[in-house]
Structure 1
Amino acid sequence: MELLAVEAAGRGMAVAAAEELGEVAGPAYWYGGPVAGARVAGRLGVGLLEPADGWLAELPVEFTGREVRAGTVADAWALDRPAFVKPPRDKSFPADVYTDGSRLPAGLDPATPVLLSEVVTFAAEYRLFLLDGEIAAASRYAVFGRLDPRPLTAEGPEIAEFVRELVASGPALPSAVVVDVGQLLDPYRPGHRWAVVEANMAWFSHAYAADPARVLDVVLRAAGPRERVRPGDLPFVRAWSRPVLPGTR
Protein backbone atom coordinates (compact mmCIF):
# COMPACT_ATOMS: atom_id res chain seq x y z
CA MET A 1 0.00 0.00 0.00
CA GLU A 2 2.83 2.40 0.84
CA LEU A 3 4.53 1.76 -2.51
CA LEU A 4 1.33 2.51 -4.40
CA ALA A 5 0.72 5.62 -2.29
CA VAL A 6 4.19 6.92 -3.14
CA GLU A 7 3.63 6.24 -6.84
CA ALA A 8 0.24 7.95 -6.78
CA ALA A 9 1.65 10.99 -4.97
CA GLY A 10 4.40 11.18 -7.58
CA ARG A 11 1.67 11.51 -10.21
CA GLY A 12 0.20 14.46 -8.38
CA MET A 13 -2.66 12.53 -6.77
CA ALA A 14 -3.76 13.29 -3.20
CA VAL A 15 -3.59 10.16 -1.02
CA ALA A 16 -5.69 9.68 2.13
CA ALA A 17 -6.67 6.82 4.42
CA ALA A 18 -10.38 5.91 4.40
CA GLU A 19 -10.85 7.05 7.99
CA GLU A 20 -9.28 10.43 7.15
CA LEU A 21 -11.44 11.26 4.14
CA GLY A 22 -12.94 14.71 4.07
CA GLU A 23 -14.56 16.40 1.12
CA VAL A 24 -13.34 14.84 -2.12
CA ALA A 25 -12.98 17.06 -5.15
CA GLY A 26 -12.50 15.51 -8.56
CA PRO A 27 -12.29 11.83 -9.56
CA ALA A 28 -11.54 9.31 -6.80
CA TYR A 29 -9.95 5.85 -6.78
CA TRP A 30 -9.83 3.09 -4.19
CA TYR A 31 -7.20 0.64 -2.97
CA GLY A 32 -8.05 -1.38 0.14
CA GLY A 33 -10.39 -3.93 1.61
CA PRO A 34 -13.99 -4.65 0.57
CA VAL A 35 -15.50 -3.76 3.97
CA ALA A 36 -14.08 -0.23 3.93
CA GLY A 37 -14.74 -0.06 0.20
CA ALA A 38 -18.43 -0.78 0.83
CA ARG A 39 -18.56 2.19 3.20
CA VAL A 40 -16.98 4.71 0.85
CA ALA A 41 -17.69 3.56 -2.72
CA GLY A 42 -21.01 5.36 -3.00
CA ARG A 43 -19.66 8.52 -1.45
CA LEU A 44 -16.60 8.53 -3.71
CA GLY A 45 -18.51 7.54 -6.82
CA VAL A 46 -16.17 4.61 -7.42
CA GLY A 47 -16.99 1.55 -9.53
CA LEU A 48 -15.13 -1.49 -8.17
CA LEU A 49 -14.41 -4.25 -10.68
CA GLU A 50 -14.19 -7.86 -9.55
CA PRO A 51 -14.17 -11.27 -11.24
CA ALA A 52 -17.35 -13.34 -11.06
CA ASP A 53 -17.61 -15.61 -8.01
CA GLY A 54 -17.80 -18.73 -10.18
CA TRP A 55 -15.03 -17.81 -12.61
CA LEU A 56 -12.50 -20.34 -11.29
CA ALA A 57 -15.08 -23.14 -11.14
CA GLU A 58 -16.09 -22.43 -14.75
CA LEU A 59 -12.56 -22.83 -16.08
CA PRO A 60 -11.75 -26.02 -18.02
CA VAL A 61 -9.58 -28.43 -16.06
CA GLU A 62 -6.73 -27.77 -18.49
CA PHE A 63 -6.36 -24.38 -16.80
CA THR A 64 -7.03 -25.38 -13.19
CA GLY A 65 -5.22 -28.73 -13.12
CA ARG A 66 -7.72 -29.90 -10.51
CA GLU A 67 -11.44 -30.21 -9.87
CA VAL A 68 -12.93 -26.92 -8.63
CA ARG A 69 -16.61 -26.36 -8.00
CA ALA A 70 -18.71 -23.51 -6.70
CA GLY A 71 -20.91 -24.16 -3.70
CA THR A 72 -21.98 -22.82 -0.33
CA VAL A 73 -20.83 -23.19 3.25
CA ALA A 74 -23.60 -25.79 3.62
CA ASP A 75 -21.94 -27.84 0.85
CA ALA A 76 -18.58 -27.47 2.59
CA TRP A 77 -20.06 -28.70 5.88
CA ALA A 78 -21.07 -31.91 4.07
CA LEU A 79 -17.48 -32.72 3.04
CA ASP A 80 -16.19 -36.03 4.40
CA ARG A 81 -12.67 -35.76 2.95
CA PRO A 82 -9.93 -33.12 2.77
CA ALA A 83 -10.60 -30.18 0.45
CA PHE A 84 -9.33 -26.68 -0.10
CA VAL A 85 -12.16 -24.30 0.78
CA LYS A 86 -12.15 -20.54 0.26
CA PRO A 87 -14.53 -17.61 -0.11
CA PRO A 88 -14.54 -16.46 -3.76
CA ARG A 89 -13.53 -12.88 -2.88
CA ASP A 90 -14.19 -11.52 0.63
CA LYS A 91 -11.86 -12.98 3.25
CA SER A 92 -14.79 -13.93 5.49
CA PHE A 93 -12.95 -17.04 6.74
CA PRO A 94 -9.43 -18.43 6.16
CA ALA A 95 -8.83 -20.11 2.81
CA ASP A 96 -7.26 -23.42 3.78
CA VAL A 97 -7.23 -27.19 3.47
CA TYR A 98 -9.93 -28.55 5.78
CA THR A 99 -9.79 -32.26 6.62
CA ASP A 100 -13.60 -32.38 6.56
CA GLY A 101 -16.58 -30.05 6.78
CA SER A 102 -16.64 -30.03 10.56
CA ARG A 103 -13.32 -28.15 10.62
CA LEU A 104 -14.70 -24.95 9.10
CA PRO A 105 -14.98 -21.96 11.46
CA ALA A 106 -18.15 -21.80 13.53
CA GLY A 107 -20.83 -19.20 12.98
CA LEU A 108 -20.74 -19.06 9.17
CA ASP A 109 -23.89 -18.38 7.19
CA PRO A 110 -24.74 -21.67 5.41
CA ALA A 111 -25.67 -19.71 2.25
CA THR A 112 -22.25 -18.04 1.99
CA PRO A 113 -20.66 -18.81 -1.43
CA VAL A 114 -17.46 -20.86 -1.39
CA LEU A 115 -15.11 -22.53 -3.84
CA LEU A 116 -14.30 -26.20 -3.19
CA SER A 117 -11.13 -27.63 -4.68
CA GLU A 118 -9.08 -30.79 -4.75
CA VAL A 119 -5.96 -30.56 -2.61
CA VAL A 120 -2.88 -29.98 -4.77
CA THR A 121 0.66 -28.69 -4.27
CA PHE A 122 1.96 -25.57 -5.99
CA ALA A 123 5.75 -25.46 -6.19
CA ALA A 124 5.64 -21.71 -6.83
CA GLU A 125 2.88 -19.12 -7.13
CA TYR A 126 2.81 -15.88 -9.11
CA ARG A 127 0.63 -12.77 -8.97
CA LEU A 128 -0.28 -11.24 -12.32
CA PHE A 129 -1.91 -7.83 -12.70
CA LEU A 130 -3.77 -7.96 -16.01
CA LEU A 131 -4.83 -4.93 -18.04
CA ASP A 132 -6.90 -5.57 -21.17
CA GLY A 133 -5.94 -9.24 -21.05
CA GLU A 134 -2.18 -8.62 -20.95
CA ILE A 135 0.25 -8.89 -18.03
CA ALA A 136 0.96 -5.33 -16.88
CA ALA A 137 2.91 -6.30 -13.75
CA ALA A 138 3.86 -9.56 -12.09
CA SER A 139 5.67 -11.07 -9.13
CA ARG A 140 6.37 -14.45 -7.62
CA TYR A 141 4.88 -14.48 -4.14
CA ALA A 142 5.25 -17.98 -2.69
CA VAL A 143 7.29 -21.18 -2.92
CA PHE A 144 5.65 -24.33 -1.58
CA GLY A 145 3.16 -22.17 0.29
CA ARG A 146 5.75 -19.98 2.00
CA LEU A 147 5.95 -16.26 1.24
CA ASP A 148 8.93 -15.63 -1.07
CA PRO A 149 8.38 -12.60 -3.37
CA ARG A 150 10.69 -11.80 -6.27
CA PRO A 151 10.35 -10.37 -9.79
CA LEU A 152 9.69 -12.69 -12.71
CA THR A 153 12.76 -13.89 -14.61
CA ALA A 154 13.09 -16.96 -16.82
CA GLU A 155 9.51 -18.13 -16.15
CA GLY A 156 8.03 -14.93 -17.58
CA PRO A 157 7.56 -16.07 -21.23
CA GLU A 158 5.92 -19.36 -20.18
CA ILE A 159 3.50 -17.54 -17.89
CA ALA A 160 2.69 -14.99 -20.61
CA GLU A 161 1.84 -17.77 -23.08
CA PHE A 162 -0.35 -19.51 -20.48
CA VAL A 163 -2.20 -16.24 -19.81
CA ARG A 164 -2.80 -15.63 -23.51
CA GLU A 165 -4.45 -19.05 -23.81
CA LEU A 166 -6.42 -18.47 -20.61
CA VAL A 167 -7.78 -15.10 -21.73
CA ALA A 168 -8.65 -16.44 -25.18
CA SER A 169 -10.42 -19.60 -23.97
CA GLY A 170 -11.61 -19.00 -20.41
CA PRO A 171 -14.68 -17.19 -19.05
CA ALA A 172 -14.62 -13.41 -19.28
CA LEU A 173 -12.71 -11.28 -16.81
CA PRO A 174 -12.77 -7.54 -16.03
CA SER A 175 -10.34 -5.46 -18.07
CA ALA A 176 -8.35 -4.82 -14.88
CA VAL A 177 -7.95 -7.81 -12.60
CA VAL A 178 -5.47 -10.00 -10.75
CA VAL A 179 -4.93 -13.65 -11.67
CA ASP A 180 -2.67 -15.86 -9.59
CA VAL A 181 -1.06 -18.82 -11.34
CA GLY A 182 1.32 -21.50 -10.17
CA GLN A 183 3.57 -24.40 -11.04
CA LEU A 184 1.42 -27.38 -10.14
CA LEU A 185 3.29 -30.51 -9.11
CA ASP A 186 1.84 -33.56 -10.83
CA PRO A 187 3.10 -37.01 -9.77
CA TYR A 188 1.99 -38.45 -13.12
CA ARG A 189 3.87 -35.95 -15.29
CA PRO A 190 7.54 -34.94 -15.22
CA GLY A 191 8.44 -31.37 -14.35
CA HIS A 192 5.56 -29.02 -13.73
CA ARG A 193 2.46 -27.62 -15.40
CA TRP A 194 0.94 -24.17 -15.18
CA ALA A 195 -2.43 -23.82 -13.45
CA VAL A 196 -4.64 -21.01 -12.21
CA VAL A 197 -4.67 -20.54 -8.45
CA GLU A 198 -7.47 -17.93 -8.35
CA ALA A 199 -8.62 -14.52 -9.59
CA ASN A 200 -8.88 -11.47 -7.35
CA MET A 201 -9.81 -7.80 -7.29
CA ALA A 202 -6.84 -5.66 -8.30
CA TRP A 203 -7.86 -3.05 -5.69
CA PHE A 204 -7.48 -5.62 -2.90
CA SER A 205 -4.31 -7.43 -3.97
CA HIS A 206 -0.77 -7.14 -2.61
CA ALA A 207 1.79 -6.07 -5.22
CA TYR A 208 4.68 -8.10 -3.71
CA ALA A 209 7.73 -7.51 -5.95
CA ALA A 210 5.78 -6.21 -8.96
CA ASP A 211 6.48 -2.77 -10.42
CA PRO A 212 4.33 -0.34 -8.34
CA ALA A 213 3.85 2.02 -11.30
CA ARG A 214 2.34 -0.73 -13.48
CA VAL A 215 0.33 -2.12 -10.57
CA LEU A 216 -1.15 1.33 -9.98
CA ASP A 217 -2.17 1.51 -13.65
CA VAL A 218 -4.27 -1.62 -13.14
CA VAL A 219 -5.72 -0.46 -9.80
CA LEU A 220 -6.79 2.89 -11.28
CA ARG A 221 -8.78 1.06 -13.97
CA ALA A 222 -10.20 -1.47 -11.50
CA ALA A 223 -11.39 1.05 -8.90
CA GLY A 224 -11.98 4.40 -10.55
CA PRO A 225 -14.94 6.72 -11.24
CA ARG A 226 -18.16 4.91 -12.05
CA GLU A 227 -18.86 7.13 -15.04
CA ARG A 228 -15.58 5.99 -16.61
CA VAL A 229 -16.30 2.26 -16.34
CA ARG A 230 -16.14 0.75 -19.81
CA PRO A 231 -19.29 -0.93 -21.16
CA GLY A 232 -17.62 -4.35 -21.20
CA ASP A 233 -16.74 -3.97 -17.51
CA LEU A 234 -20.23 -3.07 -16.28
CA PRO A 235 -21.16 -6.71 -15.47
CA PHE A 236 -18.10 -6.86 -13.20
CA VAL A 237 -18.88 -3.78 -11.10
CA ARG A 238 -19.35 -4.77 -7.48
CA ALA A 239 -23.10 -4.62 -6.76
CA TRP A 240 -23.04 -1.98 -4.04
CA SER A 241 -20.87 0.33 -6.17
CA ARG A 242 -23.02 0.17 -9.32
CA PRO A 243 -24.64 3.40 -10.47
CA VAL A 244 -28.38 3.70 -9.86
CA LEU A 245 -30.18 3.74 -13.22
CA PRO A 246 -33.29 5.85 -13.86
CA GLY A 247 -36.44 4.09 -12.65
CA THR A 248 -34.52 1.68 -10.37
CA ARG A 249 -33.44 1.60 -6.73
Structure 2
Amino acid sequence: MTNRTLFLSPRVTATGHALADTARRRSLHVETLRDWRVPDSRRGRAGASLYAGPLFADAVAGELGLGLLEAPQDWLARLPRELTGREVEFTTLAAARQLRRPAFVKPPNDKSFPARVYPDGSRLPGPDAVDDDTAVLVSDIVAFAAEFRLFLLDGEVRTGSRYATGGDLDVAPLEQDPRRAEVLDFAARLAGTGLPSAVVVDVGLLAGADSGWAVIEANAAWGSGHYACDPDAALDVVLRAARPAAEFTAAERGFLRPVPTVVRAP
Protein backbone atom coordinates (compact mmCIF):
# COMPACT_ATOMS: atom_id res chain seq x y z
CA MET A 1 0.00 0.00 0.00
CA THR A 2 3.05 2.28 -0.06
CA ASN A 3 1.94 3.66 -3.43
CA ARG A 4 -1.17 5.10 -1.76
CA THR A 5 -1.42 8.90 -1.41
CA LEU A 6 -3.52 10.34 1.39
CA PHE A 7 -4.86 13.71 0.26
CA LEU A 8 -5.95 16.26 2.87
CA SER A 9 -8.09 19.37 2.56
CA PRO A 10 -6.65 22.86 3.18
CA ARG A 11 -8.48 22.96 6.52
CA VAL A 12 -6.08 21.99 9.27
CA THR A 13 -7.51 19.63 11.91
CA ALA A 14 -6.07 17.54 14.72
CA THR A 15 -7.37 14.38 13.05
CA GLY A 16 -5.83 15.35 9.72
CA HIS A 17 -2.46 15.80 11.42
CA ALA A 18 -2.77 12.48 13.27
CA LEU A 19 -3.73 10.55 10.13
CA ALA A 20 -0.98 12.24 8.12
CA ASP A 21 1.67 11.35 10.71
CA THR A 22 0.43 7.75 10.80
CA ALA A 23 0.39 7.51 7.01
CA ARG A 24 3.98 8.77 6.77
CA ARG A 25 5.11 6.20 9.34
CA ARG A 26 3.66 3.57 7.02
CA SER A 27 5.60 5.09 4.10
CA LEU A 28 2.44 6.36 2.41
CA HIS A 29 2.55 9.63 0.53
CA VAL A 30 0.69 12.55 2.11
CA GLU A 31 -0.32 15.69 0.26
CA THR A 32 -2.40 18.69 1.28
CA LEU A 33 -4.50 20.20 -1.50
CA ARG A 34 -4.10 23.95 -1.24
CA ASP A 35 -7.43 24.97 -2.75
CA TRP A 36 -10.71 23.48 -3.97
CA ARG A 37 -9.21 22.36 -7.25
CA VAL A 38 -7.07 19.32 -7.99
CA PRO A 39 -3.86 20.21 -9.86
CA ASP A 40 -3.59 18.62 -13.29
CA SER A 41 -0.61 16.58 -12.14
CA ARG A 42 -2.68 14.97 -9.35
CA ARG A 43 -5.87 14.11 -11.23
CA GLY A 44 -6.62 10.42 -11.40
CA ARG A 45 -3.45 9.49 -9.48
CA ALA A 46 -3.39 5.75 -8.83
CA GLY A 47 -3.89 4.72 -5.23
CA ALA A 48 -5.43 7.95 -3.93
CA SER A 49 -7.33 8.30 -0.67
CA LEU A 50 -8.83 11.33 1.06
CA TYR A 51 -9.57 12.80 4.46
CA ALA A 52 -11.81 15.87 4.21
CA GLY A 53 -15.21 17.33 4.96
CA PRO A 54 -18.16 16.55 2.68
CA LEU A 55 -18.16 19.80 0.70
CA PHE A 56 -14.46 19.55 -0.10
CA ALA A 57 -14.80 15.84 -0.83
CA ASP A 58 -17.56 16.57 -3.33
CA ALA A 59 -15.31 19.10 -5.05
CA VAL A 60 -12.25 16.87 -5.47
CA ALA A 61 -13.23 13.19 -5.27
CA GLY A 62 -14.22 12.89 -8.92
CA GLU A 63 -10.95 14.34 -10.21
CA LEU A 64 -9.00 12.11 -7.83
CA GLY A 65 -10.90 9.10 -9.17
CA LEU A 66 -12.22 8.24 -5.72
CA GLY A 67 -15.30 6.49 -4.42
CA LEU A 68 -16.52 7.54 -0.98
CA LEU A 69 -18.41 5.12 1.27
CA GLU A 70 -21.14 6.43 3.54
CA ALA A 71 -24.22 5.05 5.29
CA PRO A 72 -27.53 5.35 3.42
CA GLN A 73 -29.27 8.62 4.22
CA ASP A 74 -32.23 6.82 5.78
CA TRP A 75 -30.17 4.26 7.73
CA LEU A 76 -30.88 5.72 11.17
CA ALA A 77 -34.62 6.01 10.46
CA ARG A 78 -34.78 2.36 9.37
CA LEU A 79 -33.35 1.04 12.62
CA PRO A 80 -35.79 -0.42 15.17
CA ARG A 81 -36.55 1.70 18.20
CA GLU A 82 -34.64 -0.70 20.46
CA LEU A 83 -31.48 0.50 18.69
CA THR A 84 -32.31 4.21 18.51
CA GLY A 85 -34.16 4.79 21.79
CA ARG A 86 -36.34 7.36 20.04
CA GLU A 87 -38.50 7.94 16.98
CA VAL A 88 -36.49 8.99 13.92
CA GLU A 89 -38.10 10.03 10.64
CA PHE A 90 -36.44 10.41 7.25
CA THR A 91 -38.14 13.18 5.32
CA THR A 92 -37.55 16.40 3.39
CA LEU A 93 -36.74 19.83 4.69
CA ALA A 94 -40.01 21.13 3.22
CA ALA A 95 -41.97 18.61 5.31
CA ALA A 96 -39.87 19.31 8.41
CA ARG A 97 -40.73 23.01 8.15
CA GLN A 98 -44.32 22.01 8.98
CA LEU A 99 -43.32 20.74 12.44
CA ARG A 100 -45.14 22.44 15.30
CA ARG A 101 -43.12 20.82 18.08
CA PRO A 102 -39.47 20.81 19.15
CA ALA A 103 -37.32 18.23 17.39
CA PHE A 104 -33.71 17.47 16.61
CA VAL A 105 -33.22 17.98 12.87
CA LYS A 106 -30.10 17.28 10.84
CA PRO A 107 -28.97 16.56 7.29
CA PRO A 108 -28.04 12.86 7.11
CA ASN A 109 -24.66 13.03 5.41
CA ASP A 110 -23.56 16.64 5.02
CA LYS A 111 -23.61 20.02 6.72
CA SER A 112 -26.03 22.00 4.58
CA PHE A 113 -27.51 23.52 7.76
CA PRO A 114 -26.80 23.20 11.51
CA ALA A 115 -27.81 19.95 13.20
CA ARG A 116 -29.55 20.89 16.46
CA VAL A 117 -32.81 21.08 18.35
CA TYR A 118 -35.28 23.41 16.62
CA PRO A 119 -38.25 24.78 18.64
CA ASP A 120 -40.46 24.13 15.60
CA GLY A 121 -40.21 23.85 11.84
CA SER A 122 -40.48 27.59 11.28
CA ARG A 123 -36.96 27.99 12.71
CA LEU A 124 -35.40 25.78 10.03
CA PRO A 125 -33.60 27.43 7.08
CA GLY A 126 -36.01 28.73 4.46
CA PRO A 127 -36.13 27.67 0.78
CA ASP A 128 -34.02 30.69 -0.11
CA ALA A 129 -31.16 29.14 1.89
CA VAL A 130 -31.64 25.36 1.55
CA ASP A 131 -33.70 23.53 -1.11
CA ASP A 132 -37.11 22.09 -0.18
CA ASP A 133 -36.15 18.57 -1.29
CA THR A 134 -33.07 18.40 0.95
CA ALA A 135 -33.16 15.13 2.90
CA VAL A 136 -33.33 15.43 6.70
CA LEU A 137 -33.60 13.25 9.77
CA VAL A 138 -36.14 14.39 12.37
CA SER A 139 -35.64 12.85 15.82
CA ASP A 140 -37.32 12.98 19.20
CA ILE A 141 -35.24 14.93 21.69
CA VAL A 142 -33.21 12.75 24.07
CA ALA A 143 -30.25 13.32 26.37
CA PHE A 144 -27.18 11.13 26.51
CA ALA A 145 -25.22 10.42 29.68
CA ALA A 146 -22.16 9.38 27.66
CA GLU A 147 -21.32 9.37 23.94
CA PHE A 148 -18.79 7.27 22.02
CA ARG A 149 -17.29 7.28 18.52
CA LEU A 150 -16.54 3.92 16.88
CA PHE A 151 -14.55 3.24 13.70
CA LEU A 152 -15.95 0.06 12.13
CA LEU A 153 -14.36 -2.12 9.48
CA ASP A 154 -16.37 -5.08 8.15
CA GLY A 155 -18.69 -4.72 11.15
CA GLU A 156 -15.86 -4.90 13.69
CA VAL A 157 -14.97 -2.02 16.02
CA ARG A 158 -11.34 -1.30 15.16
CA THR A 159 -11.00 1.63 17.58
CA GLY A 160 -13.23 3.80 19.74
CA SER A 161 -13.29 6.88 21.92
CA ARG A 162 -15.58 8.47 24.46
CA TYR A 163 -16.13 12.05 23.37
CA ALA A 164 -18.80 13.45 25.71
CA THR A 165 -20.27 12.99 29.16
CA GLY A 166 -23.55 14.68 30.05
CA GLY A 167 -23.37 16.65 26.82
CA ASP A 168 -19.95 18.14 27.60
CA LEU A 169 -16.74 17.29 25.78
CA ASP A 170 -14.96 14.52 27.68
CA VAL A 171 -12.46 12.66 25.53
CA ALA A 172 -10.82 9.36 26.47
CA PRO A 173 -9.87 6.13 24.65
CA LEU A 174 -12.60 3.51 24.76
CA GLU A 175 -10.16 1.16 26.50
CA GLN A 176 -10.08 3.51 29.50
CA ASP A 177 -13.85 3.76 29.91
CA PRO A 178 -15.48 1.36 32.39
CA ARG A 179 -18.39 0.85 29.95
CA ARG A 180 -16.15 -0.48 27.16
CA ALA A 181 -17.68 -3.98 27.23
CA GLU A 182 -21.21 -2.54 27.10
CA VAL A 183 -20.29 -0.33 24.14
CA LEU A 184 -18.82 -3.26 22.21
CA ASP A 185 -21.78 -5.50 23.03
CA PHE A 186 -24.16 -2.86 21.72
CA ALA A 187 -22.05 -2.24 18.61
CA ALA A 188 -22.25 -5.96 17.80
CA ARG A 189 -26.02 -5.59 17.52
CA LEU A 190 -25.54 -3.33 14.49
CA ALA A 191 -24.42 -6.24 12.32
CA GLY A 192 -26.81 -6.71 9.43
CA THR A 193 -28.38 -3.26 9.72
CA GLY A 194 -27.18 -2.10 6.31
CA LEU A 195 -23.90 -0.30 7.00
CA PRO A 196 -21.03 -0.03 4.52
CA SER A 197 -17.82 -1.98 5.15
CA ALA A 198 -15.98 1.09 6.47
CA VAL A 199 -17.90 3.62 8.53
CA VAL A 200 -18.01 5.55 11.79
CA VAL A 201 -20.95 5.15 14.17
CA ASP A 202 -21.66 7.22 17.27
CA VAL A 203 -23.50 5.47 20.10
CA GLY A 204 -24.55 6.67 23.52
CA LEU A 205 -25.99 5.79 26.88
CA LEU A 206 -29.37 7.46 27.28
CA ALA A 207 -29.82 9.58 30.39
CA GLY A 208 -32.70 9.48 32.87
CA ALA A 209 -35.57 7.02 33.03
CA ASP A 210 -34.96 5.86 29.45
CA SER A 211 -31.43 4.71 30.31
CA GLY A 212 -30.11 2.25 27.74
CA TRP A 213 -27.82 2.16 24.73
CA ALA A 214 -28.79 3.86 21.48
CA VAL A 215 -27.33 4.77 18.11
CA ILE A 216 -26.72 8.51 17.78
CA GLU A 217 -25.76 8.64 14.09
CA ALA A 218 -23.54 7.22 11.36
CA ASN A 219 -20.74 9.26 9.83
CA ALA A 220 -18.43 8.90 6.85
CA ALA A 221 -15.04 7.67 8.05
CA TRP A 222 -13.23 9.91 5.53
CA GLY A 223 -14.63 13.02 7.23
CA SER A 224 -14.87 12.07 10.93
CA GLY A 225 -12.79 13.35 13.81
CA HIS A 226 -10.95 10.64 15.72
CA TYR A 227 -11.03 12.16 19.26
CA ALA A 228 -8.95 9.65 21.29
CA CYS A 229 -9.26 6.77 18.83
CA ASP A 230 -6.08 4.98 17.81
CA PRO A 231 -4.97 6.80 14.63
CA ASP A 232 -3.48 3.65 13.10
CA ALA A 233 -6.78 1.80 13.33
CA ALA A 234 -8.74 4.88 12.25
CA LEU A 235 -6.52 5.24 9.18
CA ASP A 236 -7.28 1.65 8.19
CA VAL A 237 -10.97 2.55 8.11
CA VAL A 238 -10.39 5.83 6.24
CA LEU A 239 -8.28 4.10 3.56
CA ARG A 240 -11.06 1.57 2.98
CA ALA A 241 -13.79 4.23 2.96
CA ALA A 242 -12.10 6.56 0.45
CA ARG A 243 -10.25 4.71 -2.28
CA PRO A 244 -10.10 4.42 -6.09
CA ALA A 245 -13.59 3.93 -7.46
CA ALA A 246 -12.51 0.91 -9.50
CA GLU A 247 -11.65 -1.02 -6.32
CA PHE A 248 -15.22 -1.19 -4.99
CA THR A 249 -17.21 -4.37 -5.35
CA ALA A 250 -20.72 -4.41 -6.77
CA ALA A 251 -22.15 -4.73 -3.24
CA GLU A 252 -20.13 -1.76 -2.00
CA ARG A 253 -21.20 0.50 -4.86
CA GLY A 254 -24.63 0.86 -3.29
CA PHE A 255 -22.98 2.76 -0.43
CA LEU A 256 -21.01 5.23 -2.55
CA ARG A 257 -21.70 8.91 -2.05
CA PRO A 258 -23.03 10.54 -5.23
CA VAL A 259 -20.12 12.75 -6.23
CA PRO A 260 -21.07 15.72 -8.43
CA THR A 261 -19.31 16.18 -11.73
CA VAL A 262 -17.13 19.28 -11.57
CA VAL A 263 -16.80 21.11 -14.90
CA ARG A 264 -13.56 23.08 -15.17
CA ALA A 265 -13.19 26.07 -17.44
CA PRO A 266 -10.73 25.40 -20.27
How many Å apart are 1:241 and its aligned residue?
7.3
One-letter amino acid of the structure 2 residue matched with residue 94 of structure 1: P
**Residues 25-50 of structure 1: CA deviation (Å, up to 9, x unaligned):** 43100110121112211211111001
Q: Are positions 1:75 and 2:95 aligned together?
A: yes
1:230 and 1:31 mapped to 2: Cα distance?
21
Q: Does 1:96 align with 2:116?
A: yes
Number of aligned pairs? 237
Q: Is the 8 A contact 1:183 1:194 kept in 2?
A: yes
Unaligned runs of 5+ in 1: 243-249
Query: What is the alpha-carbon distance in structure 2 between the residues aligned to residue 193 and residue 149 of structure 1?
Result: 21
In 1, Cα distance between the equivalents of 2:86 and 2:233? Answer: 31
SS in 2 for 1:239: coil
Is structure 2 residue 125 aligned with structure 1 residue 110?
A: no
Q: For the Cα contact (< 8 Å) 1:123–1:143, is it kept in 2?
A: yes
Match of 1:124 in 2: 146
1:206 equivalenced with 2:225 (yes/no): yes
Rounded Cα–Cα distance in structure 2 between residues aligned with 1:228 and 1:137: 24
Task: Write the letter of the residue equivalent to 1:55.
Answer: W
Which structure 2 residue ranges, 5 or more long, are not aligned? Answer: 1-15, 262-266
CA contact (8 A) 1:47 1:241 kept: no
Q: Secondary structure at the match of 1:26?
A: coil
Q: Report the secondary structure of 1:105's partner residue.
A: coil
Deviations 1:173-192 (A, max 9, x none): 100001100001242x5xx3
Q: Which amino acid aligns with 1:84?
A: F
Rounded to whole Å, the distance in 1 between the matches of 2:260 and 2:249 is 14
Deviation for aligned residue 1:67: 0.3
The yes-or-no answer on 1:215 pairing with 2:239 is no
Deviates more, 1:23-32 or 1:120-129: 23-32
* Secondary structure of the structure 2 residue equivalent to 1:218: helix
Which of 65, 72, 76 is the aligned partner of 1:45? 65
Deviation of 1:221 (Å): 0.1
Q: 1:166 aligns with which of 190, 210, 217?
A: 190
Find the aligned partners of 2:178 and 2:250 in 1 and give their Cα distance. Answer: 36
Alignment of 1:118-197 (within 5 A): 118-152=140-174, 153-168=177-192, 170=193, 172-187=194-209, 192-197=211-216
Q: Report the TM-score when normalising by structure 2.
A: 0.85
Tell me, in whole angstroms, the C-alpha distance in 2 between the residues paired with 1:112 and 1:77: 11
2:66–2:244 Cα contact (<8 Å) kept:
yes
State the SS of the aligned residue for 1:16: strand
Distance 1:27 1:77 in 2: 43
Q: In 1, distance between residues paired with 2:251 and 2:145? A: 35
Residue 10 of structure 1 is matched in structure 2 by 25
Q: Secondary structure at the match of 1:138?
A: strand
How far does residue 223 in structure 1 lie from its aligned partner after superposition?
0.2
Residues 46, 241 of structure 1: 8 Å contact kept: no
Cα distance in 2, alignment partners of residues 12 and 34 from structure 1: 26
Decide which moves more: 128-137 or 98-107.
Answer: 98-107
User: Which deviations, in whole Å up to 9, do the C-alpha atoms of 1:98-141 show, x marking residues without a partner?
Assistant: 11111113422111110000000011110000000000110011
Q: Could you tell me the TM-score, scaled by structure 1's length?
A: 0.91
Q: Post-superposition, which runs of at least 4 consecutive aligned residues in structure 1 deviate over 4 A?
A: none
Query: Is residue 46–residue 244 contact of structure 2 (8 Å, CA) maintained in 1?
Result: no
Q: Deviations over 1:192-235 (max 9, x none)?
A: 31000000100010000000000000000000111211332110
Does 1 or 2 have the higher relative contact order (CA < 8 Å, sep 6+)?
1
Q: Distance in 1 between matches of 2:56 and 2:218?
A: 20
Deviation of 1:150 after TM superposition, in Å, equals 0.8
2:106–2:114 Cα contact (<8 Å) kept: yes
